[in-house]
Amino acid sequence: MKSVSRLRHKLTLQQETQTADGAGGYMRTWTNVADLWAEILSVSGGASSGSRGGKEILFAGQLQSQVTHKILLRYRDGVIPGMRLVFENRAFNIVYLADTGENRDALELLVIEGAAA
């Protein structure tokens, strides 16, 4: 696991909640699950570390977003793709995660930055 001092960003882990809107559809809201300390690393293909822009590519006729950041945090059960992490006014949507070293020490999350609503 990375040094604790590197986990300097306090993020809120959120899970999507769907509530019926009474008209046959639903409203999407986000429910806070936990506050976590993490390290946020930019991985935007060749962009400067201050860049927040991601890239989009055409794959199989569909526009796909690419991972923009890697987030490292202490291991926590229950973190899954589809959840998101919020830091200040930024949201990071989790698309992939791995137990680094497979010893339940740390999680490495690949995320796509999007707007926090």
Rounded to the nearest 5°, which phi and psi values hold at 21?
A: -95, 0
How many domains does the structure of the chain reveal? 1
Residue 50's domain spans which residues?
4-115
Q: What is the mean pLDDT of residues 30-59?
A: 68
Averaged pLDDT score across all residues of the chain: 80
- The pTM for the full model equals 0.74
Compute the distance between CA of residue 16 and CA of residue 63 in angstroms, rounded to an integer. Answer: 23
Compute the distance between CA of residue 39 and CA of residue 72 in angstroms, rounded to an integer. Answer: 5
CATH code where residue 19 lies: 2.40.10.270
According to the model, what pLDDT value does residue 51 have?
A: 39
pLDDT above 60 (res 38): yes
With beta carbons less than 8 A apart as the criterion, state whether 43 and 66 touch.
no
pLDDT above 70 (res 78): yes
- Segment 55-65, tens digit of pLDDT: 444 455 544 56
